[in-house]
Structure 1
Amino acid sequence: MKQFFYGLAGVILLVASSAFAAPPAKEAVCRACHGDGGAKPIMDVYPKLNGQNKGYLVAILKSYRSGERKGGQSAVMNAQAKMLSDDDIEALATYYSSQK
């Protein structure tokens, strides 16, 4: 029974730590359009980022950064993504994929 409670406490701590993880330094730029935690975009054409697949977020940000991604809001996103390093992209993708 003791092991069950230790396991349960571990799961709770894991969930709580991802839910309350500090956002990456460059997240403030994303927040301006995508809202707190990527959950409340300021316009309907902007996607929600919270809970997205991490691999997808990494791939899409890199395609914006390289200029491959066209259409929609790509002009804005291309400019924003050019300021991101691989480490920044990884941190942002990890953060937004953990947001619910």
Structure 2
Amino acid sequence: MCQIFAGQKPERYESETRRLRLNGQSTSIRLERAFWRILDRIAEREGLTTPAFISKLHSEVLELHGEAPNFTSLLRCACTIHLGELEQDDTARYAAE
């Protein structure tokens, strides 16, 4: 079992920093490449660029909670929610067959 996790290529979990604007402020976000790939897919599905998607998400978090503590962790959790939705879709599809 550990080979599935330990055997992954280091490039997958290597950190990547991207610069973008959140609410007009220039900032940088550092995430593992695997998370960036997921965020890129989510943004594409939403018809947005990745920076536009992240900025929109940040604005919505501020609107709901007044602040965005540990926003990078929120992004990672958003990725796991997205993956869970994909898993549910796959499960429903197989159940229908």
TM-score computed with the length of structure 1 as normaliser: 0.25
Which of 1 and 2 has higher RCO (CA within 8 Å, sep 6+)? 1
Which structure has greater strand proportion? 2
